[in-house]
Amino acid sequence: MIAIIVFAATIFALPLMSRLLVAAIATLLGLSLIIRSRRVARDLLAGANENRNLNYDRKPSRAERRAMGRGLKLALDQTELRSLFPATMARADTWADRSVS
């Protein structure tokens, strides 16, 4: 009898567990995307301080172009994840803000 109850509870819990597992994975992925995008933004701003000559017509350096490309890819990934899991990305934003403070 106990085996039947455990089996029935397992069958009913599987859909809930799969949703929780997907939410946990999406939260961790969102958190890593947010932290990486903040790191890229910090690197871009640090590079801008080195080039204070305010020459707006100059071509960005290779490192700056690569950082801008990484930032764009991260922004697109964040947009895609935010469109699929808005509440999960809000949770990841909150956790990222707590980790910085």
Boundaries of every domain in the chain = 24-100
- pLDDT beyond 90 at 11: no
With vertex at residue 71, the alpha carbon angle to CA 66 and CA 77, rounded to the nearest 5 degrees, is 130
* Closest CA relative to residue 39, chosen from 18, 67, 15: 67
pLDDT at 100: 65
Instruction: Report, in this order, helix, strand and coil percent for the chain, each rounded to 5.
Output: 85, 0, 15
pLDDT at 80: 92
Grade residue 62 by pLDDT with cuts at 50, 70 and 90: confident
Six-digit token string for 53: 């000559």
pLDDT at 98: 83
State mean pLDDT over 50-69. 77
- pLDDT beyond 70 at 9: yes
CA 19, CA 66: separation in Å to the nearest integer?
36
**pLDDT tens for each residue of 18-58:** 888 888 899 999 999 999 999 998 888 877 666 566 666 77
